[in-house]
Amino acid sequence: MDIFWAFVIGGLICVIGQLLIDLTKLTAARILVFFVVAGCILGGLGIYERLVDFAGAGASVPLPGFGNLLARGVKRAVDERGLIGVITGGFTAMAGGVTVAVVFGYLAALVSSPGMKD
Amino acid sequence: MKITEQQYEEMVKASAPKSTVIINCAKAFLVGGAICAGAQLIYNQLHAMGFSREDTGTLVAAILIVSAILLTALRVYDRLGKFAGAGSIVPITGFANAIAAPAIEHKKEGLVLGIGAKMFLIAGPVIVYGTLTSVIVGLIYYFVR
């Protein structure tokens, strides 16, 4: 059942993105920025975490989930370290994902050549 | 109801852009939903193996990111993107694709200003605005908690 809700909620968040692309002509980069900021604000308010509890990966895998991860990280860091947490929490939370993306993105660029067809 | 050919053509014209949007949304829903459902499946498997909730989340993100970068290097992800639109952009796999694709494309411009800089063409703004928002959230949280 959790897989079903992950499908439905994750799909719906992507539909919001598609509507933004088709109806507003926002570029992909702006949509990604919008989703991360929106997720971070909703995470800060504690709203997004409820959606994650309900939809699991359906809420955490789309980009608003990335924003929520930053909000969760900064709140925890503030709980543990006070004001210092404000400047460490966000980056700490995204460290794993960004590091994996940078390392494997770099390797992919080294071994793959541009314009390589199929 | 009887309609002339001309009226019919007008009706087609009026409904065409709308139906394109609906079809695009259906594709985005299916592909985006499938990526999230797949992620949930992996999550359940790993969680059952005894990883904590948080570690499982990090592992799932890592698996999705590595898979998306592999598919980007093989030119599969871009083709998926043509079909799925936002369905392949909005999940974390789209973020990984946004890092790997420009890194590959601008490889010829060098290791530093090519791969190193262009990698963050789209990911950079996402990280910048995500970080700024997290600082604002953190500051407000510090004062109201």
Please identify every stretch of chain B with a pLDDT value under 50, giving residue numbers as ranges.
none
Residue range A46-55: average pLDDT? 97
Number of other residues whose CB lies within 10 A of the CB of residue A14: 31
| A25 CB-near residues (< 8 Å, 6+ apart) | none
Residue in A closest to B64 by C-alpha = A61
Contacts of A84 in chain B (CB under 8 A): none
Q: How far apart are CA A81 and CA A72, in angstroms?
A: 14
Query: Which chain A residues are closer than 8 Å to B142 by Cβ?
Result: 78, 82-83, 85-86
Distances (CA, A) of B25 to A17, B20, B136: 9, 8, 33
Helices A28-44 and A2-24 pack at an angle, to 10 degrees, of 130
Tokens for B65, please give them. 């990111």
- Which pLDDT tens digit goes with each residue over A89-105? 999 999 999 999 999 99
CB contact under 8 A, A109 and B107: yes
Confidence of residue A17 (pLDDT cuts 50, 70, 90): very high
Report the range of poorest mean pLDDT among A31-45, A74-88, B5-19, B40-54. B5-19
Phi, psi at B18, each rounded to 5°:
-60, -45
pLDDT of residue B1: 59
Half-sphere exposure of B7 (CA within 13 A, CB side): 4
Q: Is A68 part of the contact surface with chain B (CB cutoff 8 Å)?
A: no
Residue B18: the pLDDT is 74
A80 has a pLDDT exceeding 50: yes
- ipTM rounded to 2 decimals: 0.94
List, in order, residues 6 or more apart from A20 with CB less than 8 Å away: A26, A31, A34, B86
Q: What is the pLDDT of residues B99-114, one digit of tens each?
A: 999 999 999 999 999 9
Decide: residue A35, CB within 10 A, 0-12 exposed, 13-18 middle, 19+ buried.
Answer: buried
> What does pLDDT average to over chain A?
95
Contact A108 B145 (CB under 8 A): no
Q: What is the pLDDT of residue B102?
A: 96
Residue B107: partners with Cβ closer than 8 Å, 6 or more residues away: A109, A110, A112, A113, A114, B114, B115
**Residue A118 pLDDT > 60, yes or no?**
no
Rounded to whole angstroms, the Cα distance separating B69 from B101 reads: 8
For chain A, what percent of residues have pLDDT higher than 70? 97
Residues 37-96 of chain B whose Cβ lies under 8 A from any Cβ of chain A: 37, 39-41, 43-44, 57-58, 60-62, 64-66, 69-70, 72-73, 75, 85-87, 89-96
Closest by Cβ to B129, choosing from A37, A57, A82: A37
Task: Give the angle subtended at the CA of A51 by the CAs of A47 and A54, to the nearest 5°.
Answer: 140
Mutant choice from B134, B135, B142 vs A, greatest count of A C-beta within 10 A: B134
Q: How far apart are CA B136 and CA B80, in angstroms?
A: 36
